[in-house]
Amino acid sequence: MAAAQEPTKSQTGFDCYASLGPSSNRITCAIQKETKSSALSVPAARSSMSCDGTTVITPSDVTANCVGSMDHTIAITVTGQFSLVTPLLSMFTGGQTIDLSSTATSVPRELPPTPPPAPSATASPSPSPSSSPSADPSASPSVAPSDSPSPSSMAPSASPSGGQCLAPIADFAWSPASPSKKSNVTFLDHSINMNVPACSLHWTWSFGDGSGGSLVQNPVYAYQFRGTYTVTLLVTNSAGSNQRVQSVSVGN
* pLDDT for the residue 109: 64
* pLDDT for the residue 58: 81
Q: Which of residues 59, 78, 106 is at a domain's end?
A: 106
Residue 123 has pLDDT above 60, yes or no: no
Picking from 185, 181, 125, the residue whose alpha carbon sits closest to that of residue 155 is 125
Return the higher-pLDDT residue of 117 and 144: 117
| Same domain, yes or no: 192 and 100 | no
Within 10 A of 85 (CB to CB), how many other CB atoms are there? 8
Examine residue 199 and state whether it is found in any structural domain, yes or no.
yes
Examine residue 166 and state whether it is found in any structural domain, yes or no.
no
| Same domain, yes or no: 90 and 180 | no
Helices vs. strands in the chain: H and E counts, helices first: 4, 12
User: Does residue 142 come out as left (phi exceeding 0), alpha (psi in the -120 to 50 range) or beta?
Assistant: beta
* pLDDT for the residue 49: 80
| Same domain, yes or no: 102 and 180 | no
Overall number of domains in the chain: 2
Examine residue 82 and state whether it is found in any structural domain, yes or no.
yes
Examine residue 60 and state whether it is found in any structural domain, yes or no.
yes
Q: Which of residues 88, 106, 124 is at a domain's end?
A: 106
Domain extent, residue 183, equals 172-250
| Same domain, yes or no: 92 and 182 | no
Q: Which of residues 75, 106, 137 is at a domain's end?
A: 106
Examine residue 122 and state whether it is found in any structural domain, yes or no.
no
* pLDDT for the residue 9: 73
Contact in structure between 79 and 99 (CB atoms under 8 Å): yes
Residue 186 has pLDDT above 90, yes or no: yes
CATH code, domain carrying 211? 2.60.40.10
What confidence tens digit (pLDDT) does each residue in 85-94 have? Answer: 666 666 666 6
Could you give the CA distance from residue 71 to residue 211 in angstroms, rounded to a whole number?
A: 7
* Portion of the chain with pLDDT greater than 70, in percent: 62
Picking from 55, 63, 71, the residue whose alpha carbon sits closest to that of residue 7 is 63
Examine residue 218 and state whether it is found in any structural domain, yes or no.
yes
Examine residue 66 and state whether it is found in any structural domain, yes or no.
yes
Could you give the CA distance from residue 107 to residue 38 in angstroms, rounded to a whole number?
A: 27
Residue 207's pLDDT band (cuts 50, 70, 90): very high
Phi, psi of 50 (to 5 degrees): -135, 145
| Same domain, yes or no: 100 and 194 | no
Examine residue 242 and state whether it is found in any structural domain, yes or no.
yes
